[in-house]
């Protein structure tokens, strides 16, 4: 029997995405790290409210409940710029909410991303864009997880018991070659480029490794509508640019449950209809369309993010 513990799905997450720490973060920005630490100690017994990624984390950890012995398990690791001392409030809140988070790295104000790879993380979620960019440069799938448009409260929780994850294609699952062609030559040039290369697999993007790990987990669980995980590709591509995407996923041996080829339509309403717990996209425009409807993770990768 395979050793499930040897091949887990590991998600590293920052404390600001797991819990609502905006009040204390405001203290940090206005008064510095010492005032922040004092604030956290003085509120040590005040439980933190769930943050933008809390529903996602709860569903991820819930996949371990009742899963087959041979299935890879899911581990969530806390990566925080807090010190261990000021982070005690965070662990008190983790215990209160019954989250099975056992490992953590507290960097006391220093960039924490160097610890992400030693933990073997398949995905890193943070509210700090610099940490996310550094993690991507180190080869780890990463996204800046943004609050909703109206407040710092989490995006609405959805009615689905399934964990539902949606991905953009180009510059997220795949490389950004299609976006580069589109920007340089326009949509007609992009359509011809993709049509002429329909049989050539696309290159892998920063989230290919995470998608592989997620697919490995999904394959060990019930399939179809009974699966506890459901995935979707939500892309601005349209016919005829769809064929290369389908053939690439077939070549990789990856299953995505749903595929939405929107031809440039706003993605937010479709993500809400899918009931995404989280959506990953490289375009700030698409993130703005999704924010407030679902948790939206910006992937600062590819030509759309070059300055």
The catalytic site residues sit at 168
Buried/exposed 133-154: b ≥16 CB within 10 Å, e otherwise: bbbbeeebbbbbbbbbeeebeb
Closest alpha carbon to 160 in 225, 104, 101: 225
Longest Cα pair distance anywhere in the chain, in angstroms? 63
**163 neighbors 180 (Cβ within 8 angstroms):** no
Q: Tell me how many helices (H) and strands (E) the chain has.
A: 11, 10
Q: Which residues contact 136 (CB under 8 A, 6 or more apart)?
A: 142, 206, 299, 300, 301
Can you name the residues that pair with 19 across neighbouring β-strands? 50
Question: Judging by DSSP bridges, how do beta strands 296-298 and 141-146 pair with one another?
Answer: antiparallel
The span from the CA of 233 to the CA of 257, in Å, is 8
Q: What is the 3-state secondary structure (H, E, C) of 118-135?
A: CCCCCEEEECCHHHHHHH
The span from the CA of 155 to the CA of 295, in Å, is 5
DSSP letters of 44-106?
TTSPPPB-TTHHHHHHHHHTTTT--TTSPPEEEEEEESS-TTTTHHHHHHHHHTT-----EEE
CA distances from 72 to 6, 58, 109 (A): 8, 17, 33
């Amino acid at each position: 029997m395979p050793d499930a513990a040897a091949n887990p799905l590991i998600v590293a997450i920052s404390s600001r995405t797991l819990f609502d720490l905006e009040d204390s973060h405001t203290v940090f920005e206005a008064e510095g790290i010492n005032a922040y630490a004092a604030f956290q100690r003085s509120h040590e017994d005040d439980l933190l409210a769930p943050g933008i990624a809390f529903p996602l984390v709860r569903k991820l950890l819930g996949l371990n409940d009742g899963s087959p012995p041979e299935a890879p398990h899911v581990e969530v690791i806390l990566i925080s710029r807090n010190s261990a001392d000021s982070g005690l409030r965070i662990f008190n809140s983790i215990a209160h909410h019954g989250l099975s988070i056992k490992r953590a790295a507290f960097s006391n104000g220093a960039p924490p991303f160097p610890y992400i790879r030693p933990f073997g993380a398949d995905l890193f979620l943070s509210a700090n864009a610099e940490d996310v960019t550094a993690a991507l440069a180190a080869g780890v799938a990463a996204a800046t997880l943004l609050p909703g448009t109206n407040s710092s409260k989490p995006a609405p929780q959805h009615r689905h018991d399934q964990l539902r994850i949606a991905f953009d294609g180009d510059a997220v699952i795949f490389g950004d070659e299609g976006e580069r062609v589109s920007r340089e030559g326009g949509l007609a040039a992009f359509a011809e480029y993709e049509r002429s290369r329909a049989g050539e697999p696309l290159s892998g993007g920063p989230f290919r490794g995470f998608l592989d790990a997620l697919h490995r987990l999904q394959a060990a669980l019930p399939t179809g509508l009974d699966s506890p995980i459901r995935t979707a590709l939500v892309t601005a591509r349209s016919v005829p640019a769809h064929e290369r995407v389908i053939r690439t996923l077939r070549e990789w041996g990856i299953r995505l449950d749903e595929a939405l080829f929107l031809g440039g339509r706003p993605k937010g309403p479709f993500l809400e209809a899918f009931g995404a717990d989280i959506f990953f996209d490289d375009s700030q425009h698409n993130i703005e369309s999704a924010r407030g409807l679902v948790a939206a993770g910006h992937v600062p990768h590819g030509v759309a993010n070059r300055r």
